[in-house]
A = this chain, B = another copy of it.
Amino acid sequence: MLIVMDKQARQEQVDEVVAVVESLGYQAKVIPGADRVAIGVVGNQGYIDDTAVSRLTGVSHVIHVTKPYKLVSRGFHPEDTVVSVGELRIGGDQPPVIIAGPCSVESEEQIFATAQAVKKAGAVMLRGGAFKPRTGPHNFQGLGETGLRLLSEAGREAGLPVVTEVMRIGQLELVSRYADVLQIGARNMQNFDLLKEVGLLDKPVLLKRGMCASIDEFLAAAEYILVAGNQQVILCERGIRTFETATRNTMDLAVVPLIKEQSHLPIIVDPSHATGKSSLVPPMAAAGIVVGAHGVMVEVHPRPETALSDGLQSLDFAAFAAMMRSLEGYLPASG
The chain A residues found within 8 Å of chain B, CB to CB, are: 2, 4, 7, 20, 29, 31-34, 36, 38, 40, 42-47, 49-56, 63, 65, 68-70, 75, 133-140, 167-170, 187-188, 190-194, 196, 211-212, 214-217, 220, 223-224, 227, 240-247, 250-258, 261, 274-275, 277-280, 283-284, 286-288, 290-292, 304-312, 329-330
Residues of B contacting A187 in the complex (Cβ-Cβ under 8 angstroms): 190-192
A243 to chain B, nearest CB (A): 5
CA distance A280 to B290 in the complex (A): 12
Of the candidates B47, B55, B167, B169, the one whose C-beta lies within 8 Å of that of A136 is B47
Task: Name 19 interchain pairs, CB-CB below 8 A, sorted by A.
Answer: A40-B40, A51-B310, A52-B306, A135-B190, A135-B216, A135-B217, A135-B220, A138-B223, A170-B193, A191-B191, A215-B246, A247-B252, A250-B252, A253-B284, A254-B275, A257-B284, A258-B280, A261-B279, A290-B290
Assess the B49–A40 pair: CB atoms within 8 A: no
Assess the B49–A139 pair: CB atoms within 8 A: yes
Residues of B contacting A329 in the complex (Cβ-Cβ under 8 angstroms): 329
Assess the A283–B257 pair: CB atoms within 8 A: yes
CA distance A275 to B75 in the complex (A): 22
Top 8 closest pairs, chain A to chain B, by CB = A51-B311, A68-B136, A212-B212, A55-B305, A287-B287, A187-B190, A168-B193, A136-B220
Given contacts A38-B65, A329-B329, list 5 more A-B pairs with CB under 8 A. A31-B40, A135-B220, A215-B246, A244-B252, A287-B287
Q: Given A187-B190, A242-B240, check contact A250 B247 (CB 8 Å).
A: no
Assess the B245–A305 pair: CB atoms within 8 A: no
A267 to chain B, nearest CB (A): 13
Assess the A284–B250 pair: CB atoms within 8 A: no
CA distance A177 to B184 in the complex (A): 30
A46 to chain B, nearest CB (A): 6
CA distance A200 to B329 in the complex (A): 44
Measured CB to CB, the nearest residue on chain B to A63 is B63
Q: Given A4-B65, A135-B68, A139-B68, check contact A240 B244 (CB 8 Å).
A: yes
A286 to chain B, nearest CB (A): 5
Q: Given A38-B40, A42-B34, A65-B38, check contact A243 B246 (CB 8 Å).
A: no
Residues of B contacting A278 in the complex (Cβ-Cβ under 8 angstroms): 55
Assess the A212–B211 pair: CB atoms within 8 A: yes
Assess the B34–A31 pair: CB atoms within 8 A: no
CA distance A138 to B67 in the complex (A): 11
Assess the B254–A284 pair: CB atoms within 8 A: yes
CA distance A7 to B188 in the complex (A): 33
Assess the A44–B34 pair: CB atoms within 8 A: yes
CA distance A257 to B246 in the complex (A): 12
A186 to chain B, nearest CB (A): 9
